[in-house]
Structure 1
Amino acid sequence: MSTSAPTDPTDKHHAGGFPSQEQDQPGLTDEMRPTPDHGERTYQGSLRLSERRALITGGDSGIGRAVAIAFAREGADVALTHMPEEQEDADETVRWVSEAGVRSLPLAGDLREEAFCAEIVERTVAELGGLDILVLNAAYQKDRDGIDRLETAELDRVFRTNLYAQLFTARAAVPHLNPGASIIVTTSIQAFNPSPGLLDYAMTKAAQVAFVKALAQELGPKGIRVNGVAPGPIWTPLIPGTGWDADRLESFGQDTPIGRAGQPAELAGAYVYLAGEEASYTSGAILPVTGGKGL
């Protein structure tokens, strides 16, 4: 990571609200204003993950891109999944990964499909020579205006993206994981402090916490660690794709003690820690990165 002098976290990144904008999901980075910071110019690795092979779902943008860049600069080969319509974002992430001098493997498809979840594991193992770090990060959320208006098709999309895909992928990956491997789940502050407009999303994030804790108990005796990261309000393409109005975007992240939304780059160190040897006795944990907002 960076070795520069400490900075004031309240103004380290964009400190105000965000202008009105909306995208269809999955959102694209180039259409966001301001552009998120994924650590492209700032993350400095120290080869803490050398010779490891990582698979990151939703690795094309947002938190996934920040983690991919950090892992690559720490010496890990990186496979990443993305939706076909996210090809432009995936190409940019692959460029940064490749510039770090490691192997990259983009995998296009829909994680809601059970067969694709198995395929991404098999291709990662075949083309990178194994799998040591699995980051279950891909997610979908949408603002809801009441439970009585929540369509079953939308509920299915949230649950299949946020829960089924994680189970499908982990199920396929576990037989390939050796002692020392790490599984990291991107959960959310919504698991502990849910917003009514994100009812279904918050339900899946709470379920992910249970998944982390139960799977950590199952896999611990095999030397495989399972942990989660719980982000707070982070500026990613998911946010303009959520369907919030101008007032909600203007106030996004302003209610944290740090006083602003976080940037994807500010999550990367948490994943590097949980993937590496420094966290050899950390399993079943949920690491909050919330700008001080309590879980």
Structure 2
Amino acid sequence: MSDDKFAADKKAQELAGPEGGFPEQEQTPPGLSTDLTPFPDHGEENWVGRGRLEGLKALVTGGDSGIGRAVAIAFAREGADVAINYLQEEESDAQDTKQWIEKAGRKAVLLPADLREEKAARGVVDDAAEQLGGLDILVNNAGFQWARRDGGLQGLKTEEMDRVFKTNLYALFWVSQQALSYLKEGSSIINVSSIQAYDPSENLIDYASTKAAINNFTVNLASELGEKGIRVNAVAPGPIWTPLQPATKAGESMPAFGSDTPLGRAGQPSELAGAFVFLASPAEASYVSGTVIGVTGGKPVF
């Protein structure tokens, strides 16, 4: 993205404001950051690193845009080398993210692959560890949803359910299992849950179910890996302005997106980065495992 377009979209973001919502818009899944109006804040201009992840190696799935991009930028500025996985259709977003990682003086590794395929999912982990020279942090961020206009369970189609479950759960299991070959004492796995695990929407019944399962997976794996000194936690976002929203929901729902939170607005991807940095830090979160941190704009996570 050019500096002029970045500045213009940042201005549009400011004009939208917490109470202004977002313009009506739709994209074709998986969606691109550069097609969003306004452009999201991933911390490009405001995240200041303090060396909390110095020398560590991280893999972030779904790291090209949205929450994944914000995490990748923050990790790099905290001193980590970062590999990001993404779909081939998201290459332009991935290249943008790569530039921000490299501007922070860290190594960036791009790993396009569809994690719904087991061989590809496991290969991403192997390639990340090989090209980074190890692996200390795994962020399972890749996810998919589809908000159907035709209601809840009756409107659910098997092919839609397959995409959601394979992206959100099968890939999570395969990637995490493969990562155990590289993670060691002091390493960290961070999964991405959702407010949907606690306050599910009828038209996201399959997506919400996967997020509830991720909470269970997180606690279960934390118990298993505790004796190895590997911590496992999750972050549960509320409504966050990412390409996934206009790519998987009705365009007319965008103006009100996030307005039902106690803070009255949707969050920006950069507003989640701190939770991930904290959980990834071997010093700051050394005794934190098996927990879910909610970043929801005030919606309860319990």
Q: TM-score, normalised by structure 1?
A: 0.94
Counterparts of 2:251 and 2:129 in 1: how far apart (Å)?
Answer: 43
Letter in 2 for 1:31: D
1:44 is aligned, of 30, 37, 48, to: 48
Q: Is the 8 A contact 1:40 1:69 kept in 2?
A: yes
Output one character per residue of 1:171-221: Cα deviation in whole Å (capped at 9) or x when no partner: 100121110000000110000110001111000000000000000000011
RMSD value, Cα? 1.2
Counterparts of 1:24 and 1:294 in 2: how far apart (Å)?
Answer: 31
Letter in 2 for 1:250: P
Counterparts of 2:154 and 2:35 in 1: how far apart (Å)?
Answer: 32
1:171 alignment partner in structure 2? 177
1:222 alignment partner in structure 2? 228
Query: CA shift at 1:13, angstroms?
Result: 8.2
1:131 alignment partner in structure 2? 135
Counterparts of 2:16 and 2:133 in 1: how far apart (Å)?
Answer: 38
Counterparts of 1:69 and 1:220 in 2: how far apart (Å)?
Answer: 28
Q: Secondary structure at the match of 1:288?
A: strand
1:134–1:13 distance in 2 versus 1, CA, 3 Å: farther
When structure 1 is superposed on structure 2, of 118-127 and 209-218 the one drifting more is: 118-127
1:206 alignment partner in structure 2? 212
Q: Is the 8 A contact 1:232 1:290 kept in 2?
A: yes
1:86 to 2:100 alignment: no
1:275 is aligned, of 275, 280, 292, to: 280
1:12–1:265 distance in 2 versus 1, CA, 3 Å: farther
1:113 alignment partner in structure 2? 117
Matched length = 284
Query: CA shift at 1:245, angstroms?
Result: 3.9
Query: CA shift at 1:12, angstroms?
Result: 11
1:183 to 2:186 alignment: no
Letter in 2 for 1:222: K
Query: CA shift at 1:243, angstroms?
Result: 2.3
Output one character per residue of 1:91-141: Cα deviation in whole Å (capped at 9) or x when no partner: 000000011101110001101010111111111111111000000000001
1:136-151 alignment, distance < 5 Å? 136-144=140-148, 145-146=150-151, 147-151=153-157
Q: Is the 8 A contact 2:64 2:93 kept in 1?
A: yes
Q: Is the 8 A contact 1:70 1:268 kept in 2?
A: yes
Output one character per residue of 1:204-261: Cα deviation in whole Å (capped at 9) or x when no partner: 0000000000000000110000000000000000100112241x21111111111110
Counterparts of 1:12 and 1:266 in 2: how far apart (Å)?
Answer: 18
Letter in 2 for 1:263: Q
Q: Is the 8 A contact 1:59 1:65 kept in 2?
A: yes
2:256 alignment partner in structure 1? 251
When structure 1 is superposed on structure 2, of 111-120 and 53-62 the one drifting more is: 111-120
Q: Is the 8 A contact 1:72 1:102 kept in 2?
A: yes
1:60 to 2:59 alignment: no
Q: Is the 8 A contact 1:13 1:263 kept in 2?
A: no
Q: Is the 8 A contact 1:76 1:102 kept in 2?
A: yes
Query: CA shift at 1:14, angstroms?
Result: 2.9
Letter in 1 for 2:227: P
1:14 to 2:20 alignment: no
Task: Tell me the percent identity.
Answer: 56
2:246 alignment partner in structure 1? 240
Q: Is the 8 A contact 2:16 2:22 kept in 1?
A: no
Q: Is the 8 A contact 2:73 2:100 kept in 1?
A: yes
Counterparts of 2:117 and 2:16 in 1: how far apart (Å)?
Answer: 37
Q: Which runs of 5+ in 1 are unaligned?
A: 1-10
Q: TM-score, normalised by structure 2?
A: 0.92
Q: Which runs of 5+ in 2 are unaligned?
A: 1-13
Moved over 4 A (4+): none
1:31 to 2:35 alignment: yes
